[in-house]
Structure 1
Amino acid sequence: MRRAVCPGSFDPITNGHLDIIGRASRLYDEVYVAVMINKSKQGLFTVDERIDLIREVTGSYGNVRVESFHGLLVDFCKQRDIPAIVKGLRAVSDFDYELQMAQMNIGLSGVETLFVPTNPTYSFLSSSLVKEVAAWGGDVTHLVPPAVLERLTERVAAR
């Protein structure tokens, strides 16, 4: 079975994330979405809320599993026999950072990193930008799936 992981914080998951996950799900038999736990950061959504949202919006893929992780991504991969990490690249600046991570990961464990160029429609998109625009009342309907938009609107209104 060919396995890969798409890691990130996904706070919240965007259409750009879904594009990369969907493309990976067509290439691999099983794709894990690994939701990073960073105890030093307070997210807009809890890790459990992010997992639920991701499961909801990736349910139609059929071969996507969603789990959280804390620590080294390569340990997550080793524990699940995952030989590949799939990462989307939006710009050259992403490549500079991600190349260093990829080289470290292969050196630590032999886990390969596959870089997928982001669909140009989403080349500017990040969770941080979505949250900021939503907080100021901007329209993010075209940036996130409907289920995420609903929860995001509720959360921003509550703050």
Structure 2
Amino acid sequence: MTRTGLYPGTFDPVTLGHLDIIRRACTLVDKLVLGVAINRDKGPLFTLEERTAMIEAECESIAQETGTEIVAVPFETLLIHFAEEVGAQVIIRGLRAVSDFEYEFQMVGMNRAMNDRVETVFLMADAHHQAIASKLVKEIARLGGDVSGFVTPAVEAALLDRFGRG
């Protein structure tokens, strides 16, 4: 049986922190579905298509290195329903701080109430990536700061282009 994991997020944009969690999640599953959330409330900087293409491109080398099948799939439904749809046995979540845990703890309880066959696994962010948040990366880029320590060169170029600095 193929072990399938789901790592959801808006990935607006994908950061080195996201890529670290993806790489580490690949050690746990045979197939990793990257659920690219359609979250109109967050007002994403990049379109759904751009975010999906960006994360797919960034994960090609990880898939080759690890031998894990990685696919990016947009979704706009309850996370647990999407997990069922893609056949995920486990939801992967990255944690940066205690504040992340409080929210995620509530989500796990609700998801388990709806389907107790899908587990949630928390991966702590690597110490080098704990401060990285997509929201902050966008703000730094918008204000002309250097984001090269937080994203890949391709994502940095996309950010600079979006803010008219490319």
- Short-chain TM bin: over 0.9
CA RMSD of aligned residues (A): 1.0
Residue identity in the other structure for 2:6: V
Aligned counterpart, 2:52: 51
Structure 2 distance, partners of 1:81, 1:129, is: 33
Would you say 1:96 and 2:105 are equivalent positions?
A: no
Aligned counterpart, 1:149: 156
The percent of aligned pairs where both chains have the same amino acid is 42
Q: 2:146 aligns with which of 139, 142, 148?
A: 139
Deviations 1:92-144 (A, max 9, x none): 11101101001111111122110111001111110000000011110000100
Structure 1 unaligned segments of length 5 or more: list them: none
Aligned counterpart, 1:120: 127
Which segments of structure 1 move beyond 6 Å, counting only runs of 4 or more? none
Aligned counterpart, 1:129: 136
Structure 2 distance, partners of 1:86, 1:40, is: 22
Deviations 1:136-157 (A, max 9, x none): 1100001001111111110011
Structure 2 distance, partners of 1:96, 1:44, is: 27
Deviations 1:36-86 (A, max 9, x none): 102334211001000000000001122211010001011111112111111
Structure 2 distance, partners of 1:87, 1:116, is: 6
Structure 2 distance, partners of 1:55, 1:29, is: 17
Structure 1 distance, partners of 2:42, 2:140, is: 20
Structure 2 distance, partners of 1:48, 1:141, is: 23
Structure 2 distance, partners of 1:145, 1:4, is: 24
Provide TM-score, normalisation by structure 1.
0.96
Provide TM-score, normalisation by structure 2.
0.92
Residue identity in the other structure for 1:81: G
Aligned counterpart, 1:3: 4
Structure 2 unaligned segments of length 5 or more: list them: 64-68
SS in 2 for 1:26: coil
Structure 2 distance, partners of 1:144, 1:27, is: 24
